[in-house]
Amino acid sequence: MVRLSVVVPVYNEEKNIQELYLNVTEALRGNVESYELVLVNDGSKDRSSLLLNELARLDPAVKVIHFKRNYGQTAAISAGIKHSRGELIALLDAGLQTDPRDIFRLMPFIGKIDFVNGRRTGRTGPRLKRISSRLENRICNWITGEAIADTGCPLKLFTREVADSLHLYNGMHRFLPALARMNGFSVVEVTVTHQKRKHGISVYSVLRKCFTGLMDAMLIGWLKKKGIMNHIKEGH
């Protein structure tokens, strides 16, 4: 087992893949005992597949998973986690908006905390998208009973025990902190940087993201109410 697995969903990111790889390897090499980079090609229609295969051929630390078609971000994250070997799992985005070096902002909390969620500062992008994201977070927290300020931040770090407890359905990647807490794990948010996307555009529309996010939040809220909770008393 390696110490750290970095899982990245990839969909039509041919212009970002090389820089993503360089950023991750530069951040991790020499700073963690062992690592792997798990890149999940979510049915890309550009040259992403060829570029990913070339990286895997040149670097044994790179593992590539190809989907037959586009299944979505949750499916890509789930597959990456299942095929990873790390004691710890970090999630990143392929659009270069999260900085791999920020993994080490989250790392010191592991040991005391099971799941560390990034909280983006200095966010850029369309004003409508930023406003809708803040509104979505507030409403989803109200529905789910959580207090996560930036549940949509792509940068997350958690233990293998958390990973093994997750059973994901479409859209649930937005609620990983809530799911981890539901499974009895501790969660904290840590401030991370946010960078402007250099190439390409987000594949998710603002209205669709808000609508599906609210529907999924209602499901999470329902699951929290219906979940079985118990604490075994030690000794007699």
Residue 195 scores a pLDDT above 90: no
Check residue 122 and give its pLDDT: 66
**Digit-coded pLDDT (tens) for 83-121:** 999 999 999 999 999 999 999 999 999 999 999 999 988
- Across the range 163-188, mean pLDDT stands at 88
pLDDT range class, residue 61, cuts 50, 70, 90: very high
Range 143-148 average pLDDT: 61
Task: Tell me how crowded residue 25 is: count the other CB atoms within 10 A of its CB.
Answer: 17
**Helix-helix angle 17-28:48-58, to 10 degrees:** 30
User: pLDDT-derived band of residue 204, with 50, 70 and 90 as boundaries?
Assistant: very low
CA 99 from chain centre, in angstroms, equals: 13
227 exposure class (CB count in 10 Å sphere: 0-12, 13-18, 19+) = exposed
Contact yes or no for 88/133 (Cβ under 8 A):
no
Mean pLDDT (the chain) is 83
Mean of the pLDDT values across residues 181-203?
A: 81
Tell me the whole-structure pTM to 2 decimals. 0.81
Look at the block and give the residue holding tokens 């990245």.
Answer: 8
Tokens of 83: 């095929």
The percent of residues in the chain predicted with pLDDT above 70, rounded, is 73
On the question of pLDDT at 164 being above 50, the answer is yes
Domains and CATH numbers, the chain: 2-124+149-200 (3.90.550.10)
